[in-house]
Copies of this chain bind each other. A is one copy, B any other.
Amino acid sequence: MLKKQNIVSSLLSLLLLYFCTFSNFFNFTNALWPIPQQWSKGSTTIVLYPSVDIRLSIISPTIEDLSIKTHTIFNSAKNRFQQSIIQEKYVSPNVKFNISTYQPKILQIVEIEINDGNSELGLGVNESYCLSVPDNNDDNKPLTVKITAETIYGALHGLTTLSQLIYYDNDFLKHDIHHERYIPFAPHKIVDYPSFSYRGLLLDTSRNYYSVDDILKTIETMSWNKLNVFHWHIVDATSWPVVSKKFPKLSEKGAYDPVTMIYTEQDIKIIDEFAKLRGIRVIPEFDMPGHTHSISKGYPDIIACINEQPRWDLYAAEPPSGQLNPAKEETYEFIRALIPEMASYFSDKYYHAGGDEIKTKCWEEDEDVENYLANNLGSSSETLLAKIIEEVQNTVISSNKIPMFWQETVDTHNLAITKDAIIQVWFGNDTVKNVIKKGYKVIVGSAEYWYLDCGHGGWVGNNINGNSWCDPYKTWQKMYSFNPINGLTKSEAKLVIGGETLLWSEQADPNNFEQLIWPRASAAAEVLWTGPQNLDVNEALPRLLDFRFRLVARGVKAEPLQPLWCVLNGGCDMPNF
């Protein structure tokens, strides 16, 4: 008995030795990111035709219901996928071609089947999909991947997942294999759907300017992370890059450069269309009434407390100060004319109207406001705020949009925001709970967890230690640990429709923004797609390392997380003391 135990134990040791010597430190399979809800895999390696054919079919009711839009999205996705198969040469540091699991089967066809050929991209659209990658074929049929989805948007995610299953190897010829791309661990069976319907990224293009190409590249990278909302914080106190036909001086005077650092209607439509083809909604934010100093460059009459110095801190959250003047009729005329124009440039149903970080002192020292308050008994800066936000909200709604606002509107100020609105919370879960209790749908993006810009010290000022309110840098682990529904009841949690990571651009511009966004926004993307339950940094680390290398292979300047040695070998965890 004892002897038998010894033999078993010796065999186990040998097996372990084999495992440690001949396989990677990580027990590694395809590094899917975000990881699908259900995923079973096998142990076969198959190869891929570079000219894999992609076909689309509609289940019901008939092929006539395939809208032109769906058809355009499909064709665009098909082209991208076929291009990527030809161009992408991703050699993973972890996943290596294994001749012993190779079956000479060639994947030739991707068959996409959607149920509804006429669905519109929008909040709550069905994004689920099933993906099956076979490792064998019936006698006469070519090897075929099947993606089934309710909508074309689910099908896009299926293709994204499929693209992550594929690896490149330039050593195939030594095995006399005349293909260069392979899928290991086939067959794959994946059932997948998002945990949250709003999965966003905010980019601030006012504090520093980004070109249209920078934005397109960001949206493309978002799609690889199954993020689906580009929250375009397009204007702010520092600059107004958007060209308005009704108020041309906004960009002529308020952009950093009226020719080279602007977004025209055409630019916006290019971006909006590019995003839609990737299942990504573009929601613009025109923050009002605060953060509007840039309007004063062209239209000084409607802005109060313009660039107060040096005590800007009394008038604004950061320099330069300036708020829409709520005591002037011209301000309301401006709102009623500008919002419909700006809203018309974007196709999504939602329009973010801001409403954050108001300083009442800005108004209280303004002569027009003083007169207004003296002439209107019972009025105050608070009633003026309510008045201006009401005008903003009504104009958004009459422009056929649903408004979004920052938390301050309902949490700090208790303004009469429609219950249709989405409230964006940048504080923690307590504020989420408060806002939900008031009956609002919420998106989250806690400054403590999901602000991508924090951690490079204070940009304002000249103090040597240069701390910032939102230090330290949020590591990917910190971002990954954020639970959007922490502390909420089940019914409360239903009102958290999603969240977003945010890149404010005080210390970001085209030179460093990709490094700040990726791969940390990927960590948030997995929280929002897969859901915060059962996430584990230990399981995630090797997958994220690998996914980050795939992003780099695709041209994204994603920040490295560890020495390559750790990527290849593991063994870089904190020891348990």
Residues of A that sit less than 8 Å from B by CB:
207-209, 237-239, 256, 307, 309-313, 318-320, 455-467, 471-475, 477-478, 480-481, 505-509, 511-512, 515, 537-538, 541, 552, 557-566, 568-569, 571-577
Contact = CB atoms under 8 A, between A and B. Distances in A.
Nearest to A574: B461
Contacts of A558: 511
Most central of A209, A463, A474 by chain B CB within 10 Å: A463
21 contacts: A209-B564, A238-B563, A309-B571, A313-B575, A320-B565, A320-B569, A459-B562, A459-B566, A463-B477, A465-B475, A465-B478, A466-B475, A473-B473, A507-B559, A507-B562, A511-B558, A511-B560, A512-B512, A512-B515, A512-B557, A515-B515
A559 to B, nearest CB: 5
Contacts of A472: 455, 457, 467, 471-473
A577 B313 CA distance: 9
B458 A560 contact: no
Contacts of A256: 564-565, 568
Given A239-B563, A464-B537, 9 more contacts: A207-B564, A209-B564, A256-B564, A307-B571, A320-B569, A462-B541, A472-B473, A511-B552, A512-B559
Most central of A208, A320, A460, A572 by chain B CB within 10 Å: A572
Contact of A473 (B208, B456, B561): B456
Contacts of A565: 207, 237-239, 256, 319-320
A575 B310 contact: yes
Most central of A455, A464, A569, A576 by chain B CB within 10 Å: A464
A560 to B, nearest CB: 4
Given A471-B472, A571-B309, A456 B507 contact: no
Contacts of A573: 310, 460-462
A456 B477 contact: no
Contact of A505 (B508, B563, B568, B569): B563
Contacts of A574: 458, 460-463
A268 B207 CA distance: 42
Given A471-B472, A563-B238, A564-B209, A557 B478 contact: no
